[in-house]
Amino acid sequence: MNNIEEKNAMIVRRYKEGDEKTIIDLMKPYWKHYNLDKACDFWEWEYMTCPSGQAVILLAEHNGRIIGHYATLPMEMTFEKTIITGGKAEGAVVAPNYRGNIAQKFGFKEKDVRIWGKLVKSIFDTAMKEQIDMIWGFPSEATVKAHARVGYHFLTFPLTILTLPIDVKKVIHDRFAPQIRNKHLLNFLVFVSKIYYKFRTLNLFHRKPKLKKYQEITVRQITGRDLDDRFDQFWNKYFAENKCITIKRDRRYVSWRFIENPVIPHHVFVCERDNKITGYVVIDIRNGHKKGHIVDILGLEGYEDDLFVLIEHIVQFLKNKGVLSVNLWFVKNRFSEKYVSILKTHGFIALLTQKHKKMVVKILNHNLNKEFVYDLENWYVTMAFTEGI
């Protein structure tokens, strides 16, 4: 390689301390839904404090300038009866003038230079050396073909999308008032919406359960200090009951992912019986307190009554906060069925539109059962997999 080619060469390297300012500047245009004043705190929290280990961060550099970033966050995951190390693909970004095939920028020998593709392949190699068993992530529609080109396998999950309009009138006014100036037409739309909602919530097939020993069920909101051995015992019991692929929700993960999140405030609630945790739900409130989300939910087998009481408590909590509607989605499979049923008894309705979520997976540990990974019935995925990080 001659001097000109050496000068123009692109390198892929690991993150080193001090790179974060340039990385954040590269990412900021895509963080519009975050408080940019907290961008540094958010980046530090997400990439440096992950409880399963520091993120694997790779950077593309050209003439001393960082032009691309790609990372994977190590996360312990359940896999059949064992725990593996998964990696959540995160932070894919390339400087605008370095996108596509830009071989001409890097000397005379390169024929096809796609920065993001080189970063992904380097991540695969690096993560394998660091004993990450599987990388997964949720690509945007614009990058679907690019993910397929670099060796990812696609899973397309059908979704069950649920919504609870806490105040139908305010929801309609908030949604349509700017477009519909005629007050009578707006009131008619409210009237029709209320009838439709009543029809959808007749609960012919989702009747409220006859609660046994209702008084023995307690619900409380927890903070980081409240997360003790009982939460780990709850998680271990859930793990023993469900042979699925999902993120390990022990107290370290829940504390980091939800309670310590510096950008998206979460509220974590648990239900208890006989001083043992039997279920948990995580919610967030956004858009000026107009919209709430149930981003994660877990419950033990045989304790559906406890989870029913927990949801009842959360709906009231959100009403008291002035939230207009509550939304969530599940991957439609055997692991989400009981939660959907419980939510429908509380007035949640499933949207009739058919939607899907695309996930990409790269198996790095060849001892993993591919058929198990590629079977949609084996994944328990909630909004927590995609929301926030």
Residue 180 has pLDDT above 90, yes or no: no
Tell me which residue range forms the domain holding 305. Answer: 158-355+381-385
Which pLDDT tens digit goes with each residue over 231-264? 999 999 999 999 999 999 999 999 999 999 888 8
The pLDDT score that the predictor gives to residue 195 is 67
Which pLDDT tens digit goes with each residue over 123-151? 999 999 999 999 999 987 777 778 888 88
Residues 20 and 134 in one domain: yes
The pLDDT score that the predictor gives to residue 40 is 84
Residue 225 has pLDDT above 60, yes or no: yes
Q: Tell me, yes or no, whether 71 lies in a domain.
A: yes
Q: Check: CB of residue 323 under 8 Å from CB of residue 174.
A: no
Which pLDDT tens digit goes with each residue over 4-37? 455 667 889 999 999 999 999 888 887 765 566 7
The pLDDT score that the predictor gives to residue 4 is 45
The total number of structural domains that make up the chain? 2
Q: Tell me, yes or no, whether 376 lies in a domain.
A: no
Look at 181-190, 197-206, 245-254, 264-273 and tell me which has the smallest mean pLDDT.
197-206
Residues 192 and 225 in one domain: yes
The pLDDT score that the predictor gives to residue 209 is 57
Q: Tell me, yes or no, whether 307 lies in a domain.
A: yes
The pLDDT score that the predictor gives to residue 145 is 78
Q: Tell me, yes or no, whether 64 lies in a domain.
A: yes
Residues 62 and 20 in one domain: yes
Residue 100 has pLDDT above 50, yes or no: yes
Q: In the predicted model, what is the mean pLDDT of the chain?
A: 85
Domain boundary residue, one of 151, 185, 203 = 151
* CATH code for the domain of 82: 3.40.630.30
Q: Check: CB of residue 77 under 8 Å from CB of residue 253.
A: no
Q: Check: CB of residue 115 under 8 Å from CB of residue 67.
A: yes
Domain boundary residue, one of 123, 151, 179 = 151
User: What is the average per-residue pLDDT within 323-337?
Assistant: 91
Residue 194 has pLDDT above 80, yes or no: no
Residues 320 and 258 in one domain: yes
Q: Tell me, yes or no, whether 191 lies in a domain.
A: yes
Q: Check: CB of residue 263 under 8 Å from CB of residue 35.
A: yes
| CA gyration radius, the chain | 23
Distant-in-sequence, close-in-space partners of 292: CB < 8 Å, separation ≥ 6: 283, 284, 285, 286, 318, 321, 323, 325, 326, 327
Residue 169 has pLDDT above 70, yes or no: no
Residues 220 and 122 in one domain: no
Q: Give the C-alpha separation, 207 to 217, whole Å.
A: 20
Backbone angles phi, psi at 124, to 5 degrees: -55, -50
pLDDT band at 389 (very low <50, low <70, confident <90, very high): very low
The pLDDT score that the predictor gives to residue 265 is 85
Q: Between 89 and 37, where is the model more confident?
A: 89
Which pLDDT tens digit goes with each residue over 287-324? 666 889 999 999 999 999 999 999 999 999 998 998 98
Residues 75 and 163 in one domain: no
Q: How many CA atoms lie within 13 A of 235 on its CB side?
A: 20
Residue 78 has pLDDT above 80, yes or no: yes
DSSP string covering 82-115, please? EEEEEEEEEEEEE-GGG-S--GGGG-SS-S---H
- Type of residue found at 74: P
Q: Give the C-alpha separation, 273 to 12, whole Å.
A: 53
